[in-house]
Amino acid sequence: MKKQTVTYPLRLPASLKAAVAEISKEDGISINQFVATAVAEKVSAMKTAEFFTSYRAKADIKTARRILLRMTDVRLT
């Protein structure tokens, strides 16, 4: 199964484009591949933060603290 791709005209400051071009050349990849990977990393980081934020809202701090206190080598301040 082939992945579907779309095109998107991207406007970057000249200095940022030059930096991307230099780094991608050093890494032996295209500017497109560099940008796609950078966007994927950012999306992943934001989704991960969103995931942990949603779990933090459900956290039972008292229970977690009680469990941690059962461990002899853990000190809670």
First-to-last C-alpha distance (Å) of the chain: 53
Q: Is residue 1 part of a domain?
A: no
- Entry pTM: 0.67
pLDDT tens-digit readout, 6-28: 999 999 999 999 999 999 999 99
Asked if 22 contacts 29 with a C-beta cutoff of 8 angstroms, the reply is no
Whole-angstrom distance, CA of residue 35 vs CA of residue 9? 12
pLDDT of residue 64: 85
Asked if 14 contacts 8 with a C-beta cutoff of 8 angstroms, the reply is no
Q: Is residue 3 part of a domain?
A: no
pLDDT tens-digit readout, 31-72: 999 999 999 999 999 999 999 888 888 888 888 888 888 876
Q: Which domain holds residue 33?
A: 14-69
Q: Is residue 47 part of a domain?
A: yes
